[in-house]
Amino acid sequence: MKIEYVPIGYVRSPFREPSGVPIQTRAGNDIEGTVEILEEYAAGLSDLEGFSHIIMLTHMHMCEGYRLKVTPFLDDVKRGVFSTRAPCRPNPIGFHICRLDGVEGSILHIRDLDMIDRTPVLDIKPYIPQGYEREDVRIGWLEGKLDEFLSTYADDRFSRSGSR
């Protein structure tokens, strides 16, 4: 089975390469950018301005290949890629929760960025916190590392020059 997606738009971000990007949106607190939605999809933005946050699914376009065992940013032990948020995955799909500051035509003004400039956007959904709350959550090997998780920026370990 072949699955194909087309971008509905592109992120405009101050980050030009993977190194130095926050490893998740909470670490990108107040970093501003925009999403340029392609004109043929702009009508789908109707009524989005009433939400304070959005979920964006993206294609992590700077990943080449994947690794099933990776050394994640917050550890020095190789872990299974599916127990991490590492970008180089069999399907390099990004999941981002960003603040939505406004909608201006086909441009979304967003904050809390953890994306590289020109990242293709595959989908946008409104963030509704009640839909994500869970009780009795365990966080595996990340236990005791949440402070780092909320403030860590990427190095080059998942780029072409990174070797971990």
Residue by residue, DSSP assigns 4-54 as ----SEEEE-S--SSTT-BSSGGGGTT-EEEEEE-GGGGGGGTTGGG-SEE
The pLDDT, as a whole number, for residue 99 is 95
The pLDDT, as a whole number, for residue 74 is 77
Mean pLDDT by 10 residues, the chain (164 residues): 96 91 73 96 97 96 90 87 90 94 98 94 94 77 71 66 46
What 3-state class would DSSP assign to 122?
strand
Partners of residue 59 on adjacent β-strands:
93
The pLDDT, as a whole number, for residue 153 is 66
Which class would CATH give 12-128? mainly beta
CA 140 → CA 48, 69, 80, 85, 144, distances in Å? Answer: 35, 16, 12, 13, 10
Rounded Cα distance between 113 and 73, Å, is 18
Structure tokens at 91: 């399907």
The pLDDT, as a whole number, for residue 75 is 85
pTM: 0.83
The pLDDT, as a whole number, for residue 28 is 66
**What phi and psi values does residue 148 have, to the nearest 5 degrees?**
-65, -40
The pLDDT, as a whole number, for residue 32 is 94
The dihedral over CA atoms of 27, 88, 84, 2, expressed in degrees to the nearest 10, equals: 120
The pLDDT, as a whole number, for residue 29 is 78
The pLDDT, as a whole number, for residue 136 is 82
The pLDDT, as a whole number, for residue 149 is 65
Rounded Cα distance between 59 and 6, Å, is 10
